[in-house]
Amino acid sequence: MLQVALIYPEIPPNTGNIARTCAATNTHLHLVEPLGFEINDRQLKRAGIDYWEYVNVTVHPNIESLRQASQDARWICFSTRGATNFREFQFQDGDWLLFGSESKGLPEEVVINNPAVYIPMEHPKVRSLNLSVSAALGLFEARRQLGLN
């Protein structure tokens, strides 16, 4: 089963939107502290609408806790530093899709030790997409490849 992990998310509406996507796809969402907001933040709840009861969320105090929870699962890093276009990458059942903070992305030590994919940008001045858009693209591509859509 696919899982989504946000490492140090900073913007509550992005996390709320991702939680809503996870609820719609029955995907477990993992949040790694420190978070840039309180888990009961009004904007976070607002973005997730009334779907919070349908999303399975685990908050981890650090990356090591996330590693323990994922055990032997493969971490797939979504990063502008990724080597492979996310559409050309072969996702597997059980992959954990990792996304970094809005301002810094994923920590370097996570990216260099795991497969890293990128979402192509047509315009050379655009560095990245909104975090919630990136997470939705990544999750739905993995689901498409696995025949889950």
pLDDT at site 9:
96
Residue of 34, 37, 116, 112 whose CA lies nearest to 77: 116
Residue whose tokens read 């990063």:
79
134 is in an annotated binding site: no
Query: Residue 70 has what pLDDT?
Result: 97
| Helix/strand/coil percent split, the chain, to 5 | 35, 20, 45
pLDDT tens by residue, the chain, 149 residues: 999 999 999 998 899 999 999 999 999 999 999 998 887 757 667 765 677 789 999 999 999 999 999 998 999 999 999 999 999 999 999 999 999 999 999 999 999 999 999 999 999 898 889 999 999 999 999 999 999 96
- pLDDT value of residue 53: 84
pLDDT of residue 52: 79
In CATH terms, the superfamily for domain 3-145 is SPOUT methyltransferase, trefoil knot domain (3.40.1280.10)
Question: pTM value?
Answer: 0.94
> Domain limits of the chain?
3-145
Report the distance separating Cα 96 and Cα 73, nearest Å.
7
101 belongs to an annotated ligand binding site: no
Q: Is 100 annotated as a binding residue?
A: yes
Please report the pLDDT score of residue 102 as a whole number.
Answer: 95
The DSSP result for 15-74, as a single string, is HHHHHHHHHHHT-EEEEESSPSS-TT-HHHHHHTTT-GGGS-EEEESSHHHHHHHHTTPP
